[in-house]
Amino acid sequence: MNIRSLRNPDLYHGRIGRDYFEGWYFKLVNRDRSRVFAFIPGVFFNRDFVHSHSFIQVVDGIKRKYSYESFPAEQFTADRKAFEVNVGNSCFAGKGISLNLTGTNTTALGQVSFSNTLRWLDTFINPGSMGFYNYILKMQCYSQVCSMDFELTGSLNIDGEEIDFSGGRGYIEKNWGSAFPYSWVWIQCNHFEKGQASLSCSLAHIPFLFTSFRGFLTGLYVGKQFYAFTTMNRSTSKVYQEGSDITLHLKNRHHSLTIECETREEDFILLNGPREDKMIPLVQENLQGLVNITLKERTGGKVIYTDSGSCAGVEYGGQQMLITDKSKP
């Protein structure tokens, strides 16, 4: 890890500790929202190198198909000055992806370019979406929202099907550390009905030193206006679970945000994630979720924005009781 990657968390940090992973999450939705994919390139190292490898995960949210393609660890490379990583013959970058994947379970070929990128607002003191937590060493898991929203141009041939992504929208985030948290919830959507808006929300029960805490990162763009509800800016959160759905009530100094997600259990797909010294099935992901949001001013209760979104990413992992409050009001 170097100062450049601390200031720009999108970049590859490099192995830290004996067990270490680093992975990027690219979500692409075509123009009419009929196809939703996630591509997850990354690398995993364990202490004795027995399970060390790089990988590309391909998630077809509509067909509910999942593929985990494994490569030798040395087939992962990364640019240390720009956001660009390569696994095998495929390239993943902030400006687009170029896929040349002929794996055991899936084939993905083609190029998609990204433009008009909308980034999480940060500062020198608080870089990226995790802010000053990026400077704290030896946390179990770090997170970064690389891009809240961008436009797509290009097409991919996936398992023989040509899919045109031109006119669609995308999203990028990443995680790195020794393992995923004890428990987490993630909700993301940039396909709302009334106008351009983009939501990224994650909550996790995080071990730290000799204790643990519930941390959260929520960012919402409405047009070009950005609203942040995070542990770092002393926002508060209430989290309620009913079946496979989550309702969140968030407050910062000036605003409140309610997020309600709706999912079908049959749409969840089990993905691999890092736990101890292996990549194992532990991530429940849904790319067909619905989300309802209401943003208000705290003084007077004026509604700034309320809308419903589709093609939402909804993800759960671990013991949900660790991060949910016990009773719904």
Count of alpha carbons within 13 Å of 32, Cβ hemisphere only? 3
Pick the closest to residue 175 from 3, 28, 317 (CA basis).
Answer: 317
**Is residue 26 over pLDDT 60?**
yes
Helix then strand count (H, E) for the chain reads 1, 22
Lowest-confidence region among 56-65, 201-210, 300-309: 201-210
pLDDT digits (tens, 9 = 90+) for 164-222: 999 999 999 999 998 888 889 999 999 999 989 999 999 988 766 655 667 899 999 99
Confidence of residue 47 (pLDDT cuts 50, 70, 90): confident
Residues 293-309, mean pLDDT to the nearest whole number = 97
The Cα–Cα gap between 228 and 200 comes to: 10
**Tens of pLDDT, residues 121-165:** 876 667 667 665 666 677 788 889 999 999 999 999 999 999 999
Asked if the model's pLDDT at residue 93 lies above 70, the reply is: yes
Cα separation, 173 vs 24, in Å, equals 6
- pLDDT surpassing 90 at residue 85: yes
The pLDDT, as a whole number, for residue 140 is: 81
Q: Angle 49-55-57 (CA atoms, 0-180°, nearest 5)? A: 145
Using the predicted structure, report yes or no on whether residue 318 has a pLDDT greater than 80: no
Picking from 42-46, 229-233, 250-254, which range would have the lowest pLDDT averaged per residue? 229-233
What DSSP character marks residue 289?
Answer: E
Average pLDDT in the chain:
90
Contact 30, 165 (CB under 8 A): yes
| Percentage of the chain modeled with pLDDT above 90 | 70
Tell me, what's the pLDDT at 124? 65
At 182 the pLDDT is 80
Percent helix, strand, coil in the chain (nearest 5)?
5, 60, 35
Residue 5 pLDDT grade (very low, low, confident, very high; cuts 50, 70, 90): low
Pairwise CA distance, residues 206 & 140, whole Å = 7
Least confident piece of the model among 3-12, 56-65, 105-114, 285-294: 3-12
Contact 187, 201 (CB under 8 A): yes
- In this prediction, residue 36 carries a pLDDT of 98
